[in-house]
Amino acid sequence: MPGKCALVVDDSPDSAMLLARVLKLCGFSVDTAADGVTALEKASKSSFDLIFLDIGLPEMDGFDLARLLRARPATRDARLVAVTGFTSSEDQERARAAGFDQFVSKPIDIAYIRSLVREMTGLSAP
C-alpha cells in the first residue's frame, strides 16, 4: 500500500528515531515531533494514517493530544497508538477514553511493533 504516512511524537530523540526506523521498514513515510504543539502543526499540514504518541510529553500530555487529534477532521480517522512507560490498567483505560486504538509499553518491542502495524494496516516489514 504505497503512500502510507506515520507520525511519531516522542520527546526522547532515541525513542522517536527507533520507532521511525521500524515504521519506515514497514513501508511508511515517517515524520516526527518532540511535543504536542509541533505534532498538531504537522498534522494540520499533512495527512497521517498512523500516529504513535508518547503519553509523557512536555506541556501537553499524549492524552490531551489524542483528544485534540480525534477532534480534527484530518486526523479523526488516523490510527492512534499510545507509547508509554505508564502501564497500569488505569493508564490503559485513560488511553482508550482519550481515543487511542492501541497501547504499547516502553521499552518498545520491535517485533511487537511490526506485528501491530501489520494488524492495523496490512503493511509488514521485511
What pLDDT is stored for residue 18 in this prediction? 94
Q: Is the dihedral of CA 107, 93, 35, 71 positive or negative?
A: positive
pLDDT digits (tens, 9 = 90+) for 69-114: 999 999 999 999 999 988 889 999 999 999 999 999 988 899 999 8
Q: How many CB atoms lie within 10 A of CB 80?
A: 23
Position 122 pLDDT exceeds 80:
no
CA distances to 31, 66, 101 from 78, rounded to whole Å, are: 14, 10, 9
Segment 30-71, tens digit of pLDDT: 999 999 999 999 999 999 999 999 999 999 999 999 999 999
Domains and CATH numbers, the chain: 5-25+35-121 (3.40.50.2300)
pTM value is 0.92
C-beta separation of 10 from 21 below 8 A: no
